[in-house]
C-alpha cells in the first residue's frame, strides 16, 4: 500500500494500530539519508530494545536473495524472552521479492520487517509487490527541498533552543543539499556553532556552512553583478568543465547578494568606510574596486528580488541536475542584465 506522507502515517496510523496490519515497511528513494532516517525511526519504535540482538536482527539484502527462506524463518522465529522481533533489511543489488511474497501471503504475528532500499523504479518487482498488498506500507523518500528543508531547519534548531531570522533561513536553505543526512549534519554544525545565542543570523550561516566561494567563482559573480557577461561565459564554462557544481556557484552568488545588501545598510546607518564594511562581510580586499562599482548599480530592494530569483534557481538545479549548468548560467545572465539596465 502506497503511503503519501510518512509523518502523518507514522505518527497517527502506524504507531497506534497499523504495525499489526502492515508488518512489512518498504522505504525507498534517491535520498539515502532520508531513507535511513525513516527506517531507523520505524525500527526504534517497533523494537522495544533495539540493542537487544534477540529483538532486532539486521540482514543483508543480497544474502537474503541467495537464501529467500532465511527472511521467512527470521520473521517467524519467536523471541527468546518474548515480545516483537524486528528484522531490518538493507537491500543491495539483487531482487528479494521471492523472500517477501510468503510474508505478504501469511503476515507474521510478532515481527516487523523494515526494508531499506535505494531508488526503486515504478517497474521494480519488490515495489510493485508491496504496493499491491494491504499488509505492506510503501514510503517514497524524495530529496529535501522547500517546506521539507524548512521543517528540518526548524526542528534541529528548536532542539538547541535557537530561532532563526527570515533572511538567515533563506540563505541556509539555499546552502543545503538534497541529501537529508548531509543537510542535518550542516544544521547540527550550525547549532553547535551558535550555542549560547538565542537567534541564528546571516553571518552565522556564512561562517559555518561548508559551501565557500573560491576566487574563480568570485570572478564570475563579480562579473555578473557589474553587468559583464565575459566572465560568466569564459570562467563560468571553465568552472563547470572542472567539475564545479552549479548549485555551489549559485549559493556563492546568493551569499554575495546578501553581503552587498548588508554593505549598503551598514554604510547608510553607520557611515563605515567601504574597506571596513567589506572586511566585516569577509570580502577579499582585491575585490573592493569591483564591489564599489556594484554598490552604485544595486539597491536593497533589487538585491532582495535577486536573492529570491537565485533561491528559485538553486531549487531548479536540484530538480534538474542534468541541466544545472545551463540554469546557473541563465541566472547569472539575468543578474548581469539587471546591472546593465541600471
Neighbouring C-alpha atoms within 13 Å toward the C-beta of 303: 23
3-state helix, strand, coil in the chain (%, to 5): 65, 10, 25
Q: Report whether 10 contacts 41 (CB < 8 A).
A: yes
The overall pTM is greater than 0.75: no
**Residue 97 corresponds to which cell in the numbers above?**
521479492
Q: Report whether 134 contacts 1 (CB < 8 A).
A: yes
Mean pLDDT score, 311-316: 91
Q: So where are the chain's domains? A: 2-140, 147-208, 215-341
Mean pLDDT score, 29-37: 82
Rounded Cα–Cα distance for residues 27 and 43 (Å)? 12
Averaged confidence pLDDT in the chain: 84
Residue 102, judged by CB atoms within 10 A of its CB (0-12, 13-18, 19+), counts as: middle
Q: Report whether 79 contacts 107 (CB < 8 A).
A: no
pLDDT at 269: 65
- Reported as a single tens digit per residue, the pLDDT across 168-202 is 887 787 767 666 777 788 899 899 999 999 999 88
Question: 104-118, 145-159, 178-192, 200-214: which has the minimum mean pLDDT?
Answer: 200-214
**Residue 337 corresponds to which cell in the numbers above?**
542584465
Q: Which CATH number fits domain 2-140: 3.30.70.890, 3.40.50.300, 3.10.20.810, 3.40.190.10?
A: 3.40.50.300
pLDDT at 212: 38
pLDDT at 239: 85
Strand partners, 309: none
Mean pLDDT score, 77-102: 86
Question: 4-13, 40-49, 80-89, 306-315: which has the minimum mean pLDDT?
Answer: 4-13
pLDDT at 309: 93
Length of the chain as a residue count: 342
Question: Over 70: is that where the pLDDT of 31 sits?
Answer: yes
Question: 88-92, 135-139, 140-144: which has the minimum mean pLDDT?
Answer: 140-144
Q: Report whether 249 contacts 214 (CB < 8 A).
A: no
> Could you tell me the pLDDT band of residue 208, with boundaries at 50, 70 and 90?
confident
**Backbone phi and psi for residue 302, each to the nearest 5 degrees, phi listed first:** -70, -35
Helices H / strands E in the chain, number of each: 18, 8
> Could you tell me the pLDDT band of residue 87, with boundaries at 50, 70 and 90?
very high
Quick one: which H or E segment has residue 215? helix 215-226
Rounded Cα–Cα distance for residues 119 and 28 (Å)? 6
Rounded Cα–Cα distance for residues 171 and 272 (Å)? 25
Q: What is the CATH number of domain 215-341?
A: 1.20.272.10
The CA-to-CA distance between both ends of the chain, in Å, stands at 56
pLDDT at 26: 96
pLDDT at 286: 64
**Backbone phi and psi for residue 262, each to the nearest 5 degrees, phi listed first:** -70, -30
Rounded Cα–Cα distance for residues 134 and 63 (Å)? 26
For domain 147-208, say whether CATH 2.60.40.1080 is its number: no
- Reported as a single tens digit per residue, the pLDDT across 225-256 is 999 999 999 888 888 887 788 988 998 899 89
Phi-psi region of 134 (alpha: psi -120 to 50; beta: other; left: phi over 0): alpha
The residue to which cell 538565542 is assigned:
198
Quick one: which H or E segment has residue 232? helix 229-241
Amino acid at each position: 500500500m502506497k503511503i503519501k506522507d510518512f509523518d502523518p502515517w507514522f505518527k497517527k496510523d502506524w504507531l497506534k494500530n497499523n504495525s499489526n496490519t502492515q508488518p512489512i515497511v518498504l522505504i525507498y528513494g534517491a535520498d539515502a539519508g532520508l531513507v535511513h532516517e525513516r527506517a531507523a525511526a520505524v525500527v526504534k519504535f517497533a523494537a522495544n530494545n533495539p540493542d537487544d540482538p534477540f529483538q532486532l536482527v539486521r540482514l543483508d539484502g543480497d544474502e537474503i536473495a541467495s537464501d529467500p527462506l532465511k527472511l521467512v524463518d527470521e520473521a517467524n522465529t519467536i523471541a527468546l524472552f518474548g515480545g516483537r522481533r524486528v528484522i531490518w533489511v538493507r537491500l543491495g543489488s539483487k531482487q528479494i521479492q521471492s523472500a517477501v511474497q510468503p510474508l505478504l501471503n501469511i503476515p507474521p504475528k510478532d515481527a516487523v520487517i523494515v526494508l531499506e532500499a535505494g531508488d526503486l523504479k515504478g517497474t521494480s518487482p519488490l515495489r510493485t509487490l508491496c504496493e499491491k498488498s494491504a499488509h505492506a506500507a510503501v514510503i517514497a523518500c524524495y530529496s529535501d527541498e522547500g517546506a521539507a528543508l524548512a521543517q528540518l531547519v526548524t526542528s534541529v534548531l528548536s532542539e538547541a533552543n535557537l530561532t532563526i531570522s527570515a533572511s538567515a533561513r533563506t540563505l541556509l536553505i539555499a546552502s543545503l543539499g538534497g541529501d537529508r543526512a548531509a543537510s542535518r549534519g550542516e544544521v547540527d554544525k550550525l547549532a553547535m556553532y551558535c550555542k549560547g545565542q538565542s537567534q541564528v543570523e546571516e553571518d552565522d550561516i556564512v561562517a559555518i556552512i561548508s559551501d565557500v566561494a573560491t576566487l574563480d567563482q568570485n570572478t564570475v559573480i563579480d562579473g555578473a553583478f557589474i553587468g559583464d557577461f565575459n566572465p560568466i561565459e569564459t570562467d563560468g564554462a571553465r568552472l563547470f568543465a572542472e567539475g564545479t557544481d552549479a548549485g555551489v556557484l549559485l549559493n556563492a552568488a546568493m551569499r554575495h547578494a546578501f553581503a552587498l545588501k548588508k554593505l549598503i545598510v551598514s554604510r547608510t546607518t553607520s557611515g563605515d568606510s567601504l574597506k571596513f564594511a567589506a572586511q566585516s562581510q569577509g570580502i577579499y580586499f582585491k575585490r573592493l574596486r569591483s564591489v564599489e562599482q556594484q554598490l552604485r548599480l544595486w539597491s536593497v530592494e533589487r538585491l532582495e528580488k535577486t536573492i529570491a530569483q537565485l533561491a528559485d534557481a538553486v531549487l531548479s538545479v536540484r530538480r534538474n541536475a542534468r541541466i544545472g549548468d545551463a540554469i546557473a548560467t541563465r541566472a547569472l545572465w539575468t543578474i548581469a542584465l539587471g546591472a546593465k539596465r541600471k
